[in-house]
Amino acid sequence: MKLKLGIFKFKQKKYLNERIEELKNEINEFKESEFYQKNLKYTDKLDELKEREKNV
């Protein structure tokens, strides 16, 4: 019984580790995407404008 449980836990851990790697890759691909990069530019510009508004 313990052996079966150990194998199950090992397989589950292996699956979860693989899934984590897949998600990391998806996140990195998204960060490299044009949409994300444009959003960063707009966010930076918005922050800059907000800062200017405070100083006026």
The first and second tokens of residue 27, run together, are 């996140």
In this prediction, residues 27-36 reach a mean pLDDT of 86
Predicted confidence at residue 4, as pLDDT, reads 75
The reply to whether the predicted model has a pTM over 0.75 is no
Give me the number of domains the chain comprises: 1
Q: Domain span at residue 41?
A: 2-55
pLDDT at 15: 95
Count CA within 13 A, CB hemisphere, residue 3: 0
Cβ contacts of 36 within 8 Å, gap of 6 or more: 30
Q: What is the average pLDDT across 16-36?
A: 91
Top pLDDT among 9 and 16 is at 16
Nearest CA to 13 out of 3, 24, 5 is that of 5
CB burial readout 11-50, b (16+ within 10 A) else e: eeeeeeeeeeeeeeeeeeeeeeeeeeeeeeeeeeeeeeee
Query: Tell me, what's the pLDDT at 1?
Result: 60
56: pLDDT strictly greater than 80: no
